[in-house]
């Protein structure tokens, strides 16, 4: 069963998305901010992360940038959700973008496609000698700060 990490500082949005994703058979982890989400991602290695763009402490764009800087977390697909237009995309920071209010049919399809394509991306990634070791290495406090 795939694990999805939902990140939003609005508890109502977290609750609604959580119920919808669990009802579809996904295991769901919740985080109220980007810092806690980065730490949780390092511990549970989710199959997908859905994050709000505007959050205190660490926003969604910064969370995406930090995820990409850590080898064990870099291949996790991220869906960025925002009440505003899509921010200037830095190369390959997030896999999909949805503007609020989210079209849930399109959102659900995107979640399914990203989860299906993850094993393919893992197989196509060049093998490195440190790959297995880095997958289990905890996220350092320096990365979170």
d(CA 70, CA 80): 18
Tokens of 13: 């949005």
pLDDT tens string 8-43 = 999 999 999 999 999 999 999 999 999 999 999 999
Lowest average pLDDT, out of 45-49, 98-102, 125-129, goes to 125-129
Place of tokens 């806690």: 36
Fold of 3-144: Rossmann fold (3.40.50)
**Its pTM surpasses 0.85:** no
Catalogue the E-assigned strands of the chain.
Answer: 3-7, 27-31, 48-52, 78-82, 96-99
Helices 104-124 and 11-23: crossing angle in degrees, nearest 10, is: 70
Domain ranges of the chain: 3-144
């Amino acid at each position: 069963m795939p694990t999805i990490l939902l990140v939003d500082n609005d508890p109502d949005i977290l609750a609604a998305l959580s119920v919808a994703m669990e009802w579809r058979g996904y295991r769901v982890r919740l985080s109220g901010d980007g810092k806690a989400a980065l730490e949780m991602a390092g511990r549970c290695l989710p199959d997908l992360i859905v994050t709000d763009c505007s959050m205190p402490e660490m926003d969604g764009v910064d969370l995406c940038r930090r995820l990409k800087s850590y080898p064990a977390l870099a291949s996790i697909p991220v869906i960025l959700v925002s009440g505003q237009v899509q921010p200037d995309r830095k190369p390959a920071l997030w896999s999909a973008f949805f503007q609020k209010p989210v079209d849930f049919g399109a959102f659900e399809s995107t979640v399914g496609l990203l989860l299906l394509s993850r094993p393919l991306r893992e197989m196509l990634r060049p093998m490195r000698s440190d790959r297995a070791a880095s997958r289990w290495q905890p996220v350092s406090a320096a990365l979170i700060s």
